Amino acid sequence: MANPATKTLTYRAALALFHEPALHPYDSIDILATSESEAIAKALKWSRDPNREVVPETYLVVKIDGRSIHNEKLS
């Protein structure tokens, strides 16, 4: 049973390309999770969907309230 004190938060996961001087998203999704680690795990699963095209030099970025909690180069 879930802990009623555990709050579900909305995180934003994005696939992005780096163009000087910043990352520019080309696909994104909102993720509901109770922790940063859960949000990152869900974002990784989303990004690895075999039906999702990941172009070369793509980064996965996970944010909450505009603050980045995870950046990872996927290809």
> Measured between alpha carbons, how far is 6 from 44 in angstroms, rounded to an integer?
22
What residue numbers bound the domain in which 59 lies? 9-73
**pLDDT confidence band for 1 (50 / 70 / 90):** very low
Question: Does residue 22 belong to any structural domain of this protein?
Answer: yes
Question: Does residue 2 belong to any structural domain of this protein?
Answer: no
Contact present, 12 and 40 (Cβ < 8 Å): no
Q: Is the pLDDT of residue 3 over 70?
A: no
Q: How many domains does the chain have?
A: 1
What are the φ and ψ backbone dihedral angles of 28, each rounded to 5 degrees? -155, 165
Q: Where are the alpha helices (DSSP H) in 1-75?
A: 36-47
Q: What is the pTM of this model?
A: 0.86
Q: Is the pLDDT of residue 36 over 70?
A: yes
Structure tokens that stand for 10 in this block: 């909305």
> Measured between alpha carbons, how far is 38 from 31 in angstroms, rounded to an integer?
9
